[in-house]
Structure 1
Amino acid sequence: MSHTTPANLAQQVTGRKQDHIDAVLNDPLVERNTQGFENIKLMHRALPECNYAEIDTSTTFLNHKIQFPFLIASMTGGASSNLGSINRHLAEAAEHCNVPMAVGSQRAMIVDEAAKQSFELRKFAPNVPLIANLGAVQLNYGFGFDEARRAIDVLQADALYLHLNPLQEVVQPEGDTNFANLAEKIHALSEQIDIPIILKEVGSGLSPQDIELGLAAGISHFDIAGRGGTSWSRIEAHRSASDLGLLFQDWGLTTLESLRLSQPYQEKALFIASGGIRNGIDMIKAVIMGGRLCGVAAPLLAPAQESTEKVVATIEQFQQEFQTAQFLLGIQKTDALHLNTALISPL
């Protein structure tokens, strides 16, 4: 009978994170390009009646005023030095650009003390929102308040992601697949944690039933993370002898579908749009459809391997694109984009 020791588990988790990065960087088909935004046509204004230089792209998130509705979405973190340098570059860029950042799963630092340094990011980003991250399913595998508190404290986080990834766990060779009664445990944790918990999918979208379970569990922040960008099912297929991950690589609700389904709940919760957002026009469409913030990960990974400056340049390109689209819609302030479906062409 095989037995996984703490040392073996730590090595396994760090190795898995490196496998994930390699797959994103080396398999172009991991990027699915099916998030649905091509189906939305925006209403161009030839007389926008505003000055491009005075367009206000700022918004508020977790009681911070941020530069524009952009979130550096969860990517990585672990014991190897390159994972730490990626997170440092991302954190420094977040601070420079005044945008929030979420880290990858901090299970790595719970099982391996050496991974902790890759999440000690507040010194690099002292003034922007930082979001800690644990897998919700780990609440069925011994994790609870203590582990959540450690993840939050190391990052000095403003919020905690509990990510929901049932497809990834099923496909993953060493996946944790007991998702039974998780809503009850999420509710219990939400009553103990003094910062917002954000329920987040990882690429298959949130359904109305998921949102309702979250609301009943005391959650008021959701990241829909829809299908159409990075396919974690395909990524895990690289690590498996089975073709299951390839069969399910396009499973789930697209980002656009999930945003539409979230609209009845907009007055009860804040929604982050992520999943295949690849430019500022995608961002504008996501905000119009209900996202208060837009999470972006894959376009930042290769720049983060190189330098902080490369990440800053990528974020600044997103902002220029976003500001240009906002200007061409004749909208002076970003918050006026939210759920403003009059900006969508009926044709």
Structure 2
Amino acid sequence: MSHLRSATLRGFRSVVAELGGDADALARSVGLPPDVLDTDDDLVPRGRAAALLEVTAEQLDCPNLGLRVAGRQSVSMLGPLAVAMTNSPTIGNALECLSRYLSVYGRFLTLEFGEDPENRPGVVGLYYGPATASGSTQAVDLGIGFIHRAITYLNGGPYGLRGIHLPYRSPVSRQDYDAFFGARVHTGRPHPAAVLRLPEQLPAQELSGVNDTLRQLAVAFLDEQTPETDKDVVSRTRTAIRESLGTGTIELAGIARLLYMHPRTLQRRLEDADVAFGRLLDDTRRDVALRLLLGTDLPLGHIAGMVGFQERPSFSRAARRWWGLPPGEMRRTRRLPANR
């Protein structure tokens, strides 16, 4: 089960009080102990945190709850990560630092620079995930609201946000979105993430008053706290590939969607683990094919389809590359005799 640090719910209690609700009762209604609302380092199941926001928004008739909670949060809640960010040389470096260590606060959270979804010159996209058409709108609104406020703080004021793309149909009014972000928010867009459209020159904006020694100390601490996700992401990717074999063309983008990641994030994490996606796909196909060849009596054509080959000749060529033998000969020569 994926977890978040309870710091991500900071501000929830005060917003609920303003709305006339009972934060403790709401927490209990989704299976959370109320005291997690008053701490920063407790682990909160991701699904229950999202449910808390959705249930509260509905019961208190507050469609913009996620934005309201984000408005109560500041970069300081990130602790050592805030120190590393605010002492980075540029805004781009600060956001890259946030991207690298966001897993400390939720292993599934991702933040990556990419192309502008509207392909406008002078604009770059900042992709925040996971965000899907059917996921929690309040949780993602809170996340992008916090990131927007963090960039505003780093820049010392408005930074020229060009707009936001969201993959879901949001209950938040256009007026509320405009008031919070000061830019147009487009909903129901076909992206596997929420996208903040930033001025292309913003990442190069230098930060003032930075202390590189403090940054290095904070980064060293964060390195000790960061989960070892490289091996984990390889295992999760291999599992996703295995479960997807035989369902059609397997591409990195499709596997990334299954893992609630942006494709660039998955590619980067695999590169950090010194593993290429194509090699992982090939190895997984080989291992599954070998198990089916030696452990079942399935026809070779069926096995070819089950490991993702549309035609049997393609399977035969892969088998020769893997084992130096065609599939049928591999089965005849390597299969253990049945017990009698």
**TM tier, smaller:** under 0.3
Instruction: Compute the TM-score of the two structures, normalised by the length of structure 1.
Output: 0.24
- Structure 1 or 2, whichever has the larger Rg, is 2
Which protein is richer in helix relative to its size?
A: 2
